Structure 1
Amino acid sequence: MKILDKILFAQDFASTSKNLQNVAMSLAKTFKSTIVPIHVLPEDIVNPKAKELLDTVAKEKLNETIEAFKSNGINAENPILKHGVAHDLIAMTASAVNANMILVGSGENKSKDKFKLGTTTERIIQYSEKPVLVIKEDDKFNIRTILCPVDLSDPSKRALNNAIIIARRFDANLLILSVSEEQTSSWFTSKEELNKENEERFEKHKKEFAKFLEQFNLDNLNWDKLETRGEASKEILGTIASDSVDLLIMGTAGRTGLNRLVVGSVTEKVIREVPCSFLTLKSQDVINLHLETDIKDFETLYKAGEQLEKDGFYEEAIEQYKASLGINTMHVPAYSAIAKLYDKLDKPEKAKLYRKSANEIKERIWYNKIEEEVRKLRGS
């Protein structure tokens, strides 16, 4: 079972590339992912000897990366070396290799702005339909707190669905933030009327936010709901600072709809100033569940069911538990786990059926033990 199958690892061999490689390994171990390293060289090098030398060095470094992954027990595909415009080729390659996401560093910038993104990274976010995980310089990716801002749109719904599963895998606290934008129009005749309007907007927004959250499975998750008023980008950045957020997860298209080069004005403002690492999602999920259907080992099936249950995939977990019962029909924990999940899915009749089966098996095992003890006492 895999939920994050493949990561395209964009390397620039800068001073921060070693840390980025360590983050790639940490992700691969957490999600059992395959890593595909890629490096893009410029295509406008005129001197053939210089071009040949750059190619040789790049191939050597890519091969070193592959060896580092394999020595740490991580599955890695052959590295990719391309020539041309980096952001365009990285975005296209992510689709070509069917990556779940692109992993990239925040890049270097020549301004004094501490958090400004490098040009290549910013353009990868703009051009790629794949999710993009951007790691800030020297971030060890020790995820304790995740922030997912939502504007109640479909892109933010996608972001939250992925954030929930990622938070579960990292055992992190998830902060779900929604900002009620305030009216600042001069049409109101008095400040009192303006304040009243914004208060009513905020109350309406809180109700819509609560209804929005009803769509998600938040069971067994450490999470908090945050409701604020004001300018969305400022509230997001303020929350990151005040709550020591380690990872920001955002949908990259706003209320105006999806467009290949549009990431949404709020997202654009935030990612240029955000001090922590962040994950952006446009039209595709990071998390994409792949169940292995040819498993014949009971223990593997049962453990897959446990992991699916922990990740919040209740219906898929039930199917894995049932598959394990196809091998071992007397396994009481599997019956009990299925019953518990049917309770959570509000299917009490099915839960009752599997709970009854579990009890019947326990009674049968008990009686078998009694009979065995009696036979021993009789000497038979």
Structure 2
Amino acid sequence: MEPLAKHIVVATDFSACSAYAFDYALAWAEQSHAELDIVHVLPAGIGLDIDAAVATAYYQEQEKEARLRLDQLVAQAKECLPGARAHILRGLPADAVCEFASESHADLLVTGTHGWTGLDRVLMGSVAERIVRQAPSPVLTIRLTESASYHEDHESEAQGSVTQQPSSFIPSHLLVPLDFSDCSLDAMEYAAHVAHCFGASITLLHAVEPLSYGLDFQLTHPIENKQFRQKIESRLSELVHALQRAGLTADSLIATKPALDSILDTVVERAIDVIVMGTHGRRGLSRLVIGSVTESVLRHAPCPVLSVKSPKWRHRPTVSSMTRSEKSS
């Protein structure tokens, strides 16, 4: 069976969030027998005169510290992945990471995300969200939640020592939100590949949101239409059967809440380990106008999110191409 990834790149800023992402990258790379590159980005002198003596000394110290910490991570990784490497990049973090991933032909990117919302996100932005939009491959984003205490307790310890890789880093249950677009079907296809590699089960989720208020001020819901519901159930059944024919354990669920609420509730109710979502990778005005459910999930999900962007990821078609042909026949 083809491995999940042959080359994984993990980005780190040495925060607790990044440490958690590194644990996932290490576990997934070991499971897939993949190459692992660890990258850290130093800013390219924004707001400073790079020729000035003080600025030069500052960047030299930053680079020295970064190399020391990267060496510690590489030493840890080499206990199970002898070919692990580290790189210091320069520039804007998201641009530098995605450019490196593209040039090195990585087929999976792993990064932490702080899950900022509100004013913090407006002021600070999100490197993880930019990486998801720009990356040439699927991106696994890890938001630090209940595991914060683990890494905070270990921040002061020597990073050269090898930590045990908890089995929780290897997913056993995947959630795939579907709107039946090509983008979401690509995500389902990739989820099937992940499930095969890790022996995980898959739950397909379709959220049907309320449309409008009626004359009696009652919120009308399309799922109340019997014919509409049967159509959704039939389509989900086709996809579940396709996954089962591929040797996977799969089921489906129809939710009657807004997409974000449906996804987050299902994660808790079904003990989901990883959410696999499609993203259009929109930028500029179209992203501002249309928004992205995927980006909202990135900021709020209590578990990792694996974002799959169209055009399609590198692996050959397996499940979704079959279901699309069934739909057109």
**Band of TM-score, shorter chain:** 0.7 to 0.9
CA shift digits 1:54-107 (9 cap, x unpaired): 111112222332222222234324x22122210111122111111112100123
Q: How does 1:41-120 map to 2 (within 5 A)?
A: 41-44=42-45, 45-46=48-49, 47-77=55-85, 79-107=86-114, 109=116, 119-120=126-127
1:125 aligns to what? 132
Q: Residues of 2 paired with 1:127 and 1:264: CA distance?
A: 16
Which residue type is aligned with residue 61 of structure 1? R
Match 1:143 to one of 159, 171, 180: 171
Which residue type is aligned with residue 246 of structure 1? D
Q: Residues of 1 paired with 2:297 and 2:25: CA distance?
A: 24
TM-score for both structures, normalised by structure 2: 0.74
- Alignment partner of 1:162 is 2:169: no
Look up the SS of the partner of 1:244 in the other structure. coil
Match 2:209 to one of 167, 170, 181: 181
Unaligned runs of 5+ in 1: 290-310, 313-380
Q: Residues of 2 paired with 1:151 and 1:193: CA distance?
A: 20
Look up the SS of the partner of 2:212 in the other structure. coil
Which residue type is aligned with residue 232 of structure 1? A
TM-score for both structures, normalised by structure 1: 0.65
Q: Residues of 2 paired with 1:269 and 1:38: CA distance?
A: 26
Which residue type is aligned with residue 6 of structure 2? D
CA shift, 1:202, in A, is 2.2
Which residue type is aligned with residue 67 of structure 1? A
CA shift digits 1:21-64 (9 cap, x unpaired): 32222111111111111110112254111111111111222233
CA shift, 1:13, in A, is 0.9
1:259 aligns to what? 282
Name the count of aligned residue pairs.
282
- Alignment partner of 1:22 is 2:50: no
Label 1:50 to 1:192 Cα distance change in 2 as closer, same or farther (>3 A).
closer
Label 1:7 to 1:169 Cα distance change in 2 as closer, same or farther (>3 A).
same
1:330 aligns to what? none
Percent identity for Structure 1 against Structure 2 = 25
2:322 aligns to what? none
CA shift, 1:193, in A, is 8.0
Q: Residues of 2 paired with 1:175 and 1:103: CA distance?
A: 23
2:228 aligns to what? 201
Label 1:119 to 1:73 Cα distance change in 2 as closer, same or farther (>3 A).
closer
CA shift, 1:151, in A, is 0.9
Look up the SS of the partner of 2:5 in the other structure. coil
1:375 aligns to what? none
Q: Residues of 2 paired with 1:264 and 1:209: CA distance?
A: 25
Match 1:172 to one of 200, 206, 210: 200
Which residue type is aligned with residue 259 of structure 1? R
CA shift, 1:178, in A, is 1.5
Task: Tell me which structure has the larger Cα radius of gyration.
Answer: 1
Q: Residues of 2 paired with 1:259 and 1:195: CA distance?
A: 28
CA shift digits 1:142-199 (9 cap, x unpaired): 423211111111111111111122123222221111223343254x688698678644
CA shift, 1:239, in A, is 0.7
1:233 aligns to what? 260
Which residue type is aligned with residue 4 of structure 1? A
Look up the SS of the partner of 1:4 in the other structure. coil
Contact 1:100 1:130 in 2 (8 A): yes
- Alignment partner of 1:245 is 2:272: yes
Contact 2:139 2:308 in 1 (8 A): yes
Match 1:152 to one of 166, 180, 184: 180
Label 1:108 to 1:209 Cα distance change in 2 as closer, same or farther (>3 A).
closer
Label 1:196 to 1:36 Cα distance change in 2 as closer, same or farther (>3 A).
closer
Q: Bigger relative contact order, structure 1 or 2, given CA contacts below 8 A and separation 6+?
A: 2
CA shift, 1:129, in A, is 3.6
1:39 aligns to what? 40
Q: Residues of 1 paired with 2:115 and 2:233: CA distance?
A: 40
Label 1:175 to 1:63 Cα distance change in 2 as closer, same or farther (>3 A).
same
2:10 aligns to what? 9
Q: How does 1:308-347 map to 2 (within 5 A)?
A: none
Contact 1:147 1:177 in 2 (8 A): yes
Contact 1:180 1:205 in 2 (8 A): no
Unaligned runs of 5+ in 2: 50-54, 149-167, 320-329
Look up the SS of the partner of 2:267 in the other structure. helix
Which residue type is aligned with residue 63 of structure 2? D
Q: Residues of 2 paired with 1:196 and 1:38: CA distance?
A: 47
Q: Residues of 1 paired with 2:302 and 2:223: CA distance?
A: 35
CA shift, 1:4, in A, is 0.8
